[in-house]
Amino acid sequence: MLESTTRWPRADRPLRVALPAQLESVPLARHALARWLAGNGACADAIFALSVALGEACTNAVEHAQRARPQAVLVRAERKGRTVRILVRDYGRWDYSPSIDERGRGLQLMRGLMDCVQIRRTPRGSTLVMSHPLDRQPEAASFSE
């Protein structure tokens, strides 16, 4: 059974979500963010872009951050003026094994949707930070091979 720790803050407070490092928890993170963004007056395009990017970031944290035992994925979203900043934290070491299918475009998608995407990897885990305005639709992303 999935259990998450989520606080439903007022719109002027950051969103904090702690989820099990399981793929089944990714939709919970997207839903929590979409609900928080709506409360912050985000336009539909921004909610879509931020939710998709968060889903990709959480999926990467679950699939690539390998540890002997599953860890949590932490999500924090905060509003700075008309911009949303999202932080996704995992506690594993990234596994860069090549995939046999056509996957592996999540980071490219995030960079296409967000204004800024930064990743910091350490032996204790990874932190991804991304940002996007509340009221601007994303520019069309280019996905060249």
Residue-wise pLDDT for 79-119, tens only, equals: 998 899 999 999 877 665 555 455 568 888 999 999 999 99
Q: What is the pLDDT of residue 100?
A: 45
Q: Are the beta carbons of 76 and 29 closer than 8 angstroms?
A: no
Q: Cα 144 to the chain's mean position, in Å?
A: 23
Question: Positive or negative CA dihedral for 66, 71, 72, 74?
Answer: negative
Q: What is the mean pLDDT of the chain?
A: 82
pLDDT band, residue 124 (cuts 50/70/90)? confident
41 contacts: CB under 8 Å, gap ≥ 6: 11, 134, 135
Domains along the sequence of the chain with CATH: 14-96+103-133 (3.30.565.10)
Q: What is the pLDDT of residue 111?
A: 92
Task: Write down the pTM of the prediction.
Answer: 0.81
Q: What is the mean pLDDT of residues 60-80?
A: 81
Compute the 3-state secondary structure of the chain and give helix, strand, coil in percent, each to the nearest 5.
30, 30, 35
Q: What is the pLDDT of residue 91?
A: 85
